[in-house]
Chains A and B, each alone.
Chain A
Amino acid sequence: MSAWISPLRLSRAGILGMNKRNVGYIARYNDRSAYPLVDDKLKTKLLAEDFDIKTPKLHQVVRQQHEIGHFSDMAVDLEGFAIKPSKGSGGKGITVILHRDGDQYVKASGARLPLSYLEHHLSNILAGLYSLGGKPDVALVEDLVRPAALLARYSYQGVPDIRIIVFQGYPVMAMLRLSTKASDGKANLHQGAVGVGLDIGSGWALNAVQFNRPILLHPDTGLPVSDIKIEDWDTMLLMAARCYEATGLGYIGVDLVLDETEGPLLLELNARPGLTIQMANGKGLVPRLRNIESLKRPHLLPEKRVVYAKKTFGQ
């Protein structure tokens, strides 16, 4: 068994490579002028509201250094919350606070942080530490997402999120990301989170990978990942499909979570979605993208597109 695979075989399996994704899809279908809509979480949020796509409730936007002072007043009333840089990428700079314990704020990992740490974190965000190119940024304080219990038990800490690749408005491939001990509670695949491919037709789990290798059980919780079925699947597909109208971007990754009380919520959009989703699904993206590209009459309504995608890409 060699550690390599021949390019011919990859291409026969329809695997999309990074260069092809960049030139053939991102550069071709994603209009640069629309990038700020997805690179800036605040803009994404406001936009999503206009298109009836639910997002976690926004509590505060910290724009200036002096506004950091108001943070503690506002945070008094909150049980759990998440601080995010508006222009952060790859989940960098996101701090999740589960609850308060006296003066201390407790993270998902159980670590206790003083207020000063959070204020410092806010000022780092404003200075642009986590934004692309180090540009000044704003910080968002959002409601904490409490994942639906059925899904949450599969994940080691963290919030399981669902990534759907939407091509010209059609959801073409989906994956559930479960955080692990190795990924430090983050749903970042290259840090060791588990990626579970999801059937577009039903929301049932297909394959699962960690560090690009197929697995059957979650490494920390020990649960068989093949038992997973996502609830509210149709709503999620519809939300994802609507993001096409909202942004005008032809090739995006839509990140959703399933909140216990609120149902599916849009977390963020990604104009350069990763390729590991193919490993999690055990399928290449290219045939599905070609299928959509060859449509003579694309469906105008998101509902119609979801129906088409479920019928065409479901198993």
Chain B
Amino acid sequence: MKQRSRYPFYISVLLLIVTGLGLAGVRHMQLGIPWFAGAKQPVWMVEARIDFEAQGDPVLVSLNVPENPPGFRVLSRQAASPGYGFSLIEDSGDLRAEWSIREADGSQTLYFNVQLTPDDTRDGDIRSTKPQPEPVFWEEPQATAVAEVLERAAAKSASPESMTRELIKLMQSSDPDQNIALLLNNANHVPLLERMLNHAGIPARVADGLKLEDARRLQPLRPFLQIHNGERWLTFHPETGQQGLPDDVLLWRQDSSSLLDVVGGQDSQVTFSMLQQTVPALQLATREGAQTGLGFLSLYELPIEEQGMFRMLLLLPLGALVVAFMRIIVGVRTSGTFMPILIAVAFVQTSLVPGLVAFLSVVAVGLMMRGYLSSLNLLLVSRISALIILVIAITTGFSIIGYQMGFNTGMTVTFFPMVILAWTIERMSILWEEDGPREVMVQGGGSLFVAVLAYLLMDMPLARHLTFNFPELHLVTFGLILLMGQYTGYKLSELRRFRPVKDFG
């Protein structure tokens, strides 16, 4: 008779709740499943258009496309190119779209489409091993100028990052000294920066970025300077020297020496156009969630038909939670422990008012018919069976009459579980005979009240969304129900029932 320690119980309940919330949190972050049903997320559709003149020869077009751009998640890549064979080829970290055709003549247009969504968790291609700076050869007099400029920049800097910033600042100064003027005279300043940094022993490269603005066409790529600091590639704005990539810039080309190669054509050029769309976040998450990590927990993997069933099933624990709360903490009396849940489920399908009307009228008519049945002195099993048939007859009658009168609500009666209805009628009828109509009202009303509450909870869009998309949250429901099973305080109704205690001596 000794009472066991309660601590293991409370700890395991706590673990259940924490696990449920934790899993949900992880899945929210990892898969981007939104907490709220209506959450939306922007999606960028970027289109690269390649134009060139074909000369009647076999044509091979190869375009570098973004594989894992920093700050974005790629949702899909598609190509539109009539008559061309198309493939995506990955070659040592360099993803290229390749079109080929046996013979083409005249002006050709190829399209490549990529859909992206902003995602702060992606920081792009992190390369751990430091690449070797490319050897650079300078001719005089540039060699001397470069050496001097680098020396000045190095004097003011301590790291590859600060060196890069200094160098950009020197190049951009409004009053450049003669060394820089000489260098700029001969070349474009971004490739010049790249060469100078490489010369200084800092691996550097030029990446092409695209500024994303809604509904823009014929956008050019802008060069960005990238240096490797020994751990990863860092991006610098080549004019302002600002480190890091602006949020609205997509790095189209990072790791490839060429953007576009065309064999068998000339006058080739690439232009970009873009469009922003807003897509429900949930749709995004389910479209690509399945492959990664905890995605296997997703119910979207199931066939559509089963999904519908699970949507309903996963709402039931909420109903059970309401019933447990109302009975244990509040102390509402119901007829049949979980009959309210079944009624609530039917309400979910019929919606509340038509469901209530249908339920009450079926039970009322059923009770009247049960009165006649009881005078027939039937055995219990056959009486219930007869009642089931009667209930079906009543619902059919309601549906037909309702339909003829132009109410579609009559049809919703069919969602109620017939056997449950029959048992409800039987129970109520016996309750009426033995305990009087008052008890029928108390218990019937209690059941309906709990059913309506359960329905209101189950019908909340948030509840539907969370139960289906985060099934692990049911661990929390489970924990709460276990906790309630330990509640030994007074019920709310007992505070009323035991009210005469006030008059005790």
Contacts and interface: CB of A to CB of B under 8 A. Distances in A.
B380 A19 contact: no
A70 B488 CA distance: 50
A13 B505 CA distance: 10
A184 B504 CA distance: 29
Contacts of A141: none
A28 B1 contact: yes
A92 B432 CA distance: 12
A184 B502 CA distance: 30
A7 B377 contact: no
Nearest to B381: A127
Contacts of A10: 490, 494-495, 498, 501
Q: Which of B436, B485, B490 has the most CB of A within 10 A?
A: B490
A157 interface: no
B498 A19 contact: no
Interface string B470-505: 000000000000000111111100111111111111
Interface string B141-167: 000000000000000000000000000
A214 B498 contact: no
23 contacts: A3-B496, A4-B496, A4-B499, A5-B498, A6-B495, A9-B501, A11-B490, A13-B501, A15-B498, A19-B488, A20-B489, A20-B490, A23-B485, A23-B487, A29-B1, A117-B377, A120-B377, A184-B436, A209-B500, A213-B500, A278-B498, A279-B498, A284-B501
B331 interface: yes
B125 interface: no
A263 B414 CA distance: 58
Nearest to A124: B380
A18 B495 contact: no
Nearest to B494: A17
Contact of A13 (B328, B430, B488, B504): B504
Nearest to A15: B498
A228 interface: no
Contacts, number: 89
A106 interface: no
Interface string B293-321: 00000000000000000000000000000
B1 A5 contact: no
A11 B488 CA distance: 12
A17 B505 contact: no
Interface of B: 1, 3, 328, 331, 377, 379-381, 430, 434-436, 439, 485-491, 494-505
A99 interface: no
Given A10-B494, A92-B434, A15 B487 contact: no
Contacts of A128: 380
A123 B381 CA distance: 11
A9 B499 CA distance: 10
Contacts of A212: 497, 499-500
A13 B496 CA distance: 15
Interface string A97-133: 0000000000000000000110010011001110000
Given A10-B495, A124-B380, A19 B328 contact: yes
Contacts of B505: 282
A191 interface: yes
Chain A: interface residue count, which band?
35 or more
Given A5-B496, A19-B490, A23-B485, 11 more contacts: A5-B498, A7-B489, A10-B495, A13-B504, A19-B491, A20-B490, A117-B377, A129-B380, A212-B499, A213-B500, A279-B498
Cβ-closest 6 pairs across A and B: A127-B380, A20-B488, A17-B490, A120-B377, A282-B504, A5-B499
A159 B124 CA distance: 86
Contacts of B380: 123-124, 127-129, 134
B501 A17 contact: no
Contacts of A7: 489-490, 495
Nearest to A129: B380
B436 A191 contact: yes
A5 B377 contact: no
Interface string A24-37: 10001100000000
A250 interface: yes
Nearest to A279: B500
A10 B496 CA distance: 11
A19 B487 contact: yes
B326 to A, nearest CB: 13
B376 to A, nearest CB: 9
Contacts of B436: 184, 191
Given A92-B434, A127-B380, A283-B504, A17 B489 contact: yes
Contacts of A213: 500
Given A7-B489, A17-B489, A18-B491, A129 B501 contact: no
A3 B501 CA distance: 11
B70 to A, nearest CB: 57
B3 A28 contact: yes
B430 A18 contact: no
A66 B161 CA distance: 100
Nearest to A134: B380
A23 B488 CA distance: 7
A288 to B, nearest CB: 15
A17 B495 CA distance: 9
Interface string A273-315: 0000011001110000000000000000000000000000000
Contacts of A134: 380
Nearest to A293: B1
A128 B451 CA distance: 27
Contacts of A4: 495-496, 499
Contacts of A23: 485-488
A19 to B, nearest CB: 5
Contacts of A5: 495-496, 498-499, 501-502
Contacts of B499: 3-5, 212
B319 to A, nearest CB: 21
A120 B375 CA distance: 10
B372 to A, nearest CB: 15
Nearest to B442: A190
Nearest to B434: A92
A4 B489 CA distance: 16
Interface in A150-193: 184, 191
A210 to B, nearest CB: 11
B260 to A, nearest CB: 75
B492 to A, nearest CB: 9
A250 B1 CA distance: 10
Interface in A59-89: none
B501 A15 contact: yes
Contacts of B495: 4-7, 10
A214 B491 contact: no
Nearest to B493: A18
A169 to B, nearest CB: 13
